[in-house]
Amino acid sequence: MLGLANETQRVVSLQAHDLPASASALELAFTTVLRRKGRALDSLINRRRARRAGTMAAADRQPAPITIASIQAALPRGAALVEFVRYHRVDPKLPARPQVEHYLAYVLPSQGSPSFVPLGEAAPIDQEIGTLFVAMHTSLKPTDGDPGGVDPMMKSFIQAMRKRHLKRLDDLLLAPVRAHLRNVTHLILSPDSALHAVPFEALVDGEGHYEIERRLVSYVTSGRDLLRFHDPRPPRSPATIIAVPDYGVPGATVSPARSSFRRLEGALSEVTTLTAHFASVRTITGKDATKAALADLPPPCASDPFPPRHDRTVQTPGRDVVTPEHRQRGDLRRAGA
């Protein structure tokens, strides 16, 4: 695998730095990345599935030929795949010189030609990711004399700091790519290396909007996963909707950390709406909606760590928690933590 990784980096470096205008070099480099990125994880997943099926015959089976055209055909309408790659800059004229690591992004829309966007050296991007991580984990301290409250000025300062770092990271990663995302409403992202820690949907653009306000954001290990999604597999269990659990009398003290619960308004109507989207669906609500009920569901819903795409478990919220602790957690989520 190490030899393949080094060869892939050489191909990417040659295309990005020495042949940036060559369409054939772009096709070769992008195809190489699509075929090789995440192969170790693929092998692990396929072998575990094969062992559960009692055979190793399909362990390394690929659902379809891995080409740019086949992956583009698997993209939903209005979607674009953004395949991030971290690689060493390889200069054949300076073989003994330490090679600097870079990031770039290959962009594949559902219609049109692929393109690539150089993102620059990896070190500044990795440093900004670390800074964002620290900012996201900065605690909101309660005010003196009010254990449940938070100093409004401190809260505003920390939230502004988080948003500022989200904007900086957007400038480094998504802003350079947006010129290639016209008419795109669904981003399918394949991060690499430290980019796996980036909350792309929470990045803030130049107008102050979170990315999730502009587009749907999804993640894959590699664009190759899109082919697996189209590999037909019979479902092993019906769709299951778990919603509106019974938390007892609203306002009753359940535990020191949970002092007030009430049923989330509209949750039952949401269940009704969801059931219309499935040919066969099981609903679990009220007193039956428990952790034990979820654990008792047949594989892959509870026990299969790598479920096929056609098996579905849908869980909807059914409570509104109003303790100060949970209000604070909600603030963190809204800030993109």
Q: What is the pLDDT of residues 196-249, one digit of tens each?
A: 999 999 999 999 999 999 999 999 999 998 987 766 566 667 788 888 888 776
Query: How many domains does one find in the chain?
Result: 2
Q: Are residues 154 and 286 in the same domain?
A: no
Is residue 234 one of the residues assigned to a domain? no
**Are 187 and 150 in contact, with CB atoms under 8 Å apart?**
no
Residue 49 lies in a domain: yes
Query: 329 with 205, same domain?
Result: no
Looking at the structure, tell me whether residues 216 and 72 fall in a common domain. Answer: yes
- The pLDDT confidence band at residue 6, using thresholds 50, 70 and 90, is confident
- pLDDT single digits (tens) 283-311: 998 889 888 888 888 765 433 333 433 33
Domain boundary among 182, 209, 229: 229
Nearest CA to 157 out of 174, 143, 140, 176 is that of 140
Assign 1 a pLDDT band (cuts: 50, 70, 90).
low
CA distance 111 to 292: 46
Among 164, 194, 229, the domain boundary falls at 229
Same domain, 200 and 309: no
- Specify the range with the lowest mean pLDDT, choosing from 121-125, 178-182, 290-294: 290-294
Q: Kindly report each contact of residues 321-329 with a partner whose C-beta sits within 8 Å and lies 24 or more positions away, as own/partner.
A: 321/258, 321/260, 321/261, 322/260, 322/261, 322/262, 323/148, 323/257, 323/258, 323/259, 323/260, 324/142, 324/147, 324/148, 324/149, 325/257, 328/140, 328/150
The answer to whether position 249 is within a domain reads: yes
Examine the pLDDT at 152 and tell me if it is beyond 80.
no
pTM above 0.75, yes or no: no
pLDDT of residue 149: 58
Does 137 lie in the same domain as 220? yes
On whether both 18 and 90 belong to a single domain, the answer is yes
Are residues 136 and 178 both part of a single domain?
yes
Domain boundary residue among 175, 210, 229? 229
* Helix, strand and coil in the chain, % to nearest 5: 40, 20, 40
- Same domain membership, residue 85 and residue 13: yes
Residues 159 and 57 in one domain: yes
- 59 plus 176 within the same structural domain: yes
Co-location of 124 and 270 in the same domain: no
The residue with tokens 């080094």 is: 6
- Supply the range of the domain harboring residue 126: 2-229
Residue 276 lies in a domain: yes
Q: Position of tokens 């409250």?
A: 149
Please state, in angstroms and rounded to a whole number, the distance separating the CA atoms of residues 114 and 72.
9
Q: Do 106 and 60 have their domain in common? A: yes
Q: Tell me the C-alpha distance between 164 and 203, whole Å.
A: 10
